[in-house]
Chains A and B, each alone.
Chain A
Amino acid sequence: MSARRRLAVAGLLAPAVMLLLLFFVVPSVDLFRLSLAHMDAQRAIHHDVSLVNYRNFATNPYFHRMVWGSVKLTFVVTALCLLLGYPAAYFMVRVRSTVARTLLYAIVVSPLLISVIVRSYGWVVLLANNGVINGTLLSLGLIERPLRMLGTFGSVIVATVHVLLPFMMLPIASALQSLDTVLERAAQSLGASPWQTFWRVTLPLTMPGVVAGTSLVIALTLGIYITPLLVAGPLQPLFAIGIYYVTLSQLDFPLGAALSFVLLAFTLLVIALAGRLLKTVKGSVA
């Protein structure tokens, strides 16, 4: 490649690379360095290299509860997103009017574009003791006393599913869109009922989308904290909330840094595994 070209490429990439190196890579590296420091009882930070924070994580039952809570949430949220998201994505892709499809698409994307505050407050209004749902149920005589929904793990699940559903639906919708419908017709011409067609043809061929969506939802659920914080308060057993609490309430930055890296490691692991799985799934679908 000529020198002029090399210069051009360097020039085009320089701003982005500089920005990311200075304000992403370096802070991350420094965070790691911080995670190896430790804070003593007087809130003074000692920068000697030690694994005390990581050991703390490994042995402290408080953090184990946090991890377990996040794992539970991840399972439930992912399952719900899959069971609700696939049919909804299918519906959107196969609806006949383009106007309707655009509208549905806008609805799917809306949680992403709306501030997390608005989303969370919406759930507060809906789920509060004197909120919409309780109000409706009470006036219909279906319950006698308001159901406690806000502040429970259940409300965290609901609010999390709401914000992560688009991440499951969009890759699946994309996979469905690139599926040639003639294959479904072929299956039917050979005698497969609509359900058989779905299980044997549609689902296997949209697997890459399902894997992509699932891994995205898992990775995002592991690190979620604002939505649960606003909807259920800081006492929920979630890993990211634990990090938030440790860092900004207790001001133990070294510990917070270490926990952050544990979370990062988990997230990267999920993404790497998903990437591997995606390759094999894509291969079998040709």
Chain B
Amino acid sequence: MIPMFAMGASDHDDHGHDDHGHGDHGDGHGGHGDHGHGEHGGGSSWWMYLLGFLVLAPTLMCLFNGVVGSSGVSYNPATGEYSSPILMAIILAPAIGAVINGTIGQKLPRPIVNLVGCAAIGLAFLFSISAVGSLMGLEAPAAEGHMAHQPIVYNAFKWIWVGNFQIPAKFVLDPLSAVMILIITGIGTLIHIYSAGYMSHDPAYARFFTYLNLFCFAMLILVLGGNMLLTFVGWEGVGLCSYLLIGFWYTDDAKASAGKKAFVVNRVGDFAFIIGMFLIFTAAESLDYQAITQLATTPETAGPLMGIATAATIFIFIGCTGKSAQIPLFVWLPDAMAGPTPVSALIHAATMVTAGVYLIARMNALFILAPTTMWIVVVVGGVTALMAATIAVVQNDIKKVLAYSTVSQLGYMFMAVGSGALTAGVFHLMTHAFFKALLFLGAGAVIHGLHDEQDIRKMGGLRKSMPIIHWTFLVGCIAIAGVPGFAGFFSKDEILWNVFAQVHAGAPMPGLHVVMWIVGVLTAGLTAFYMFRLYFLTFHGESRVAAGVTPHDAPAAMAMPLIILAALSAVGGYLGVPHILGGLVHWIPGIGEAMSHHILHTWLEQVFTPSANALSIRFEHDQEVVMEWVTMGVSVVVALGAIAASWMLYARPSDVPKTVAERASLPYKILSNKYYVDELYALLFVKPTLLIGRFFHKVVDEVLIDLLLVNGAAWVMESMGAIGKRLQDGNVQRYAGYVVLGLGAIIFLLLIK
């Protein structure tokens, strides 16, 4: 099977790949069926599973819908909730895939493994579309003439039921989790298909798909879980899968220890998460999101929550800094690039690392009660964004650049949610998922095409040999740089505007938002700069590829996801057109009206209404429009300027970068050593921990515990046991005697005394 499945082989040309360029990821099935005709007969069986998946999945889907009705949504008048087992189907589909590939995957032929892996997540995606479609239909009038979507709730079973600590396995699909599951399953599907190509040479492909499916399963639990504990289960689950996938090539010591580092650093955050959860439970006596939101937004009941809000949210935010790689716990993410590139794309760019942003958005009602935390979030996010962007400028590993870029973009998202612009945060989460997944997959394709070369100094001029990768990568760079019209522009601009303009009670100093806005703009400029540095060094200039390596373009299974993601990165931003630009899209027939009002904002409004009431824009309306134009103009100018600078420095042969590096050797050294954070942590935490550990090992453990307590207790136990043993001498009459003696003793003790 393996030779037949030579889709990664270098003899592929790129004809017919443009067939994949469907902009629509939802229903582009028809076009793929006959796609395979242009391929080499034996050279690629990838279309077989794709075909199978595309035929099988809709069939199953129709069956499912036929059996349970329109995604099975039913109304329960007793609770006033809509319920549908389809939520279970979404979650279980990848779990089943993981079980199949995890148990018998090694014995199955490769195409079947690929089919199972892709079909599992693909089905989840189709189910998600169906469920979200139902959710759109469940509109009910809410306050102030807005429409609210009734969440779809599914109570799977009673999970923990002890006294008043009652945790049901309850899954909730509301507009926020709808956005998340579409990202997870949609991009997940693309990355699964991509992986079939990327991992085609790896013997452990079944294990890879098992982990990948397992990850999707955990991630879906994380976002669909209706209470914090369920989210925590998903939170730990994705952490575990992340660890397994970073250390996927565990025979390499560095990669295995990168996995360990990620796991350990995340444990610090998880611990804080747990403490936050306990705090909330003590005040709210519930971990249910709906209940917590209800309590927090009702003035009469918010009292107890107010007391713990600041502490609890800070702890939860520390948890988020772990999972979402923010200061101080960001150090694991760059190392996590040791994993296979599809993993970096899915887990360490598009989905898992955004869990922190999701959690804050989910718990916005509680965070809004704690202005201090909100400001901490903004500052941490901003500083992280700037710091990571500066590091990215001097990195030479293609994946490391993208990793620091991810840290930086996550910082943006935290700036957004911290300043109360939750929609903007989620919006950037989405567009970032598009373009960063695209960039990672593109980088992966480059690495694949160059036979595992990751150093951009050994690339260059690849645009001729890798046209598809080149063009899609360029789209990704434009999108992340914030060039007007592309996805990143809309979301980044919305964040910057909100940071600049939105006021939240309790700002520690009046000028802080302006400072943070400047940080944001600087970061935007740096982002455009380092991304285009990366782009130019990789695809332009003279080829610096090592001799003997023939670069080849992405094979079809890898090209298709790139093209779809490029399309999404180009147009994804139109889900959130700012109202000052509304006029530009208003003319589009059919959807123009909705688009001019920021589709995503309308969609998420009900989830964020409670906290939106606590915020206000600090400008008069007229002033507001002007200021918004001004801030937008500034960021566009900065981005374009940065691109131009990077073109001048890196697109043509130039001595300037070298000169700068030599002239400013100290800053350069600091940057290329990533501010010595790892070294600092080693000095501050690792070494003292080891010292304390050694002390405890030598003194406390070996002497006090081993010698005195354990051996002492064991000695006492054993001598007691020996006495008990002695009593059991094998004589049945003595045993009868014990019965009589026991009775006598009871009588004596109870009656005679």
Q: Bound pair: A and B?
A: no
Q: Which residues of B contact A (CB under 8 A)?
A: none
